[in-house]
A and B are shown apart, each in its own frame.
Chain A
């Protein structure tokens, strides 16, 4: 038994040790996390004017951004994308994971591997791949796409773009989540399922009343992470519109609009204001999902 004095001495020794270990991280946290966030906040209240020096205003940039005629279009595009993509992703992930769990065959394992591979193809290479996939002339599903193509033989337009991005996002994102959800299903104790079956539960009953309730926290988790990703949509529309100029608007997504403020107009105030509005919506939705699904209380399980 160490004496009280020794314990106290040790506790005192630990303080500098902990700080020393965290100090390098604190430097990068402040330099590349907190400082830009605070600076962005400050910028949002600094109004750029063609006739005078920048001046301070609490609301000017936010009002200017909200009045921009391009914002409703871009917001609607992102909303459409999220409304198609999120349900599609959840259905694909849960149906496949549950089917793989129902009987753990070799074929199921192979499928799990194949669904995981497109996750390695991200960023601009993924955008290029799907640009090809959506060109009726070269796509493996070209004849199908031609049914929806316009007169010039192109499938891509502001209207079909949300659909293409959703399919692309599902192909790239589902595999990783399938592994996570499948892992959770495997983790359910076998006795729980067996006792339910003994009580006369059918296979569907175990899915609906045991498996899904036990893993429902993953639905919220996937939704929150995917929402944040979806609102940030930038790389895919930028690369695709570079490959197909004129077919898709350069300010198709909200983040592209932020970028356009900063580069085309050199108006960092408006860019920051819009980025902050985007962040607020994102956080509000995350809070809503967390409180409505009791995500964290289940997470402690």
Chain B
């Protein structure tokens, strides 16, 4: 009703169509690319479907590259992400809860420093982190990637905000009077109440860890330790797949690279579709970006 008087429904729908084209077209193109040959990519209509046969060829080329090293990268991504996420959650939830509900002398300082580290560009910390890891002889090991990823100040702050705003003191006080231990109160009262916030922190932690690029890029030299994200970069730069100058006989070209990109985003898309409902509800409460 309201805006209709000036911006008619037609104009608004046109706007939406344009938006869908802009945001959707690249994704559809990416999904179609592995079904075509390199030639097909150039000479077929951009939005045409190639063939399932060609998709199979692209897949066997990609998964056969360097004795199937992409499986190693995928496995690395999975366990680096899973372990760092598990640790960061079990660190962030008690911390955020205690900062909000069990304040102590100095808790405000911890909160302030947390906020401060949130605005420090992570890139500024990566070189000192590299030197720190190399002082402990941990560079070029999985730990050099996993350990820094366990630090997730945004998660702590989000849990803190939720505990402060949405969990009444009276419930906690009642449980305490009933003789519940402080740890029991957190596990049995707070965690069930705060699960939307915890799910959101877990999602952003997952995306952040899965997509981490700069950190593994700097810490790891061995190709066998790379994650999918850095592996993609290795794939592209060592085969010259996109620049066109691919003198080697390695059958990695644009369709294979597109497929590798799909493989690397598939877990995110799946978790995203699953978590969408909660995220949309939770984001209005002030979400983390990127």
Contact = CB atoms under 8 A, between A and B. Distances in A.
A138 interface: yes
Contact of A123 (B15, B25, B211, B242): B211
B224 interface: no
Nearest to A118: B23
Interface residues of B, number: 101
Interface in A3-20: 10, 14-15, 17-20
A94 interface: no
Contacts of B233: 124, 238-239, 242
A139 B25 CA distance: 10
A25 interface: yes
Contacts of B103: 18
Nearest to B241: A243
A259 B218 CA distance: 9
> For chain B, what secondary structure do more than half of its interface residues adopt (helix, strand, loop), or is it mixed?
helix
A238 B233 CA distance: 9
A21 B121 contact: no
Contact of A242 (B114, B237, B279, B289): B237
Name A's interface SS: helix
A82 to B, nearest CB: 14
B12 A231 contact: no
A288 interface: no
Contacts of B242: 128, 131-132, 135, 243-244
A108 B16 contact: yes
What 10 A-B pairs have minimum CB-CB distances, sorted nearest first?
Answer: A183-B284, A21-B98, A25-B95, A102-B3, A36-B128, A18-B102, A140-B46, A18-B104, A32-B151, A125-B261
B46 A142 contact: yes
A266 B211 CA distance: 26
A129 B29 CA distance: 9
Contacts of A102: 2-4, 7, 12
B64 interface: no
Interface in B134-174: 147-148, 150-151, 153, 156
A298 interface: no
Contacts of B121: 228, 231-232, 255, 275, 278-279, 282
Contacts of A243: 236-237, 241-243
Given A21-B102, A243-B242, A29 B110 contact: yes
Contacts of B9: 103
Interface stretch (B55-63, B192-200, B265-273): B265-273
A15 B3 CA distance: 55
A69 interface: no
From A124, A177, A183, A268, residue with most partner B Cβ within 10 Å: A124
B94 A207 contact: no
B62 to A, nearest CB: 13
Nearest to A283: B119
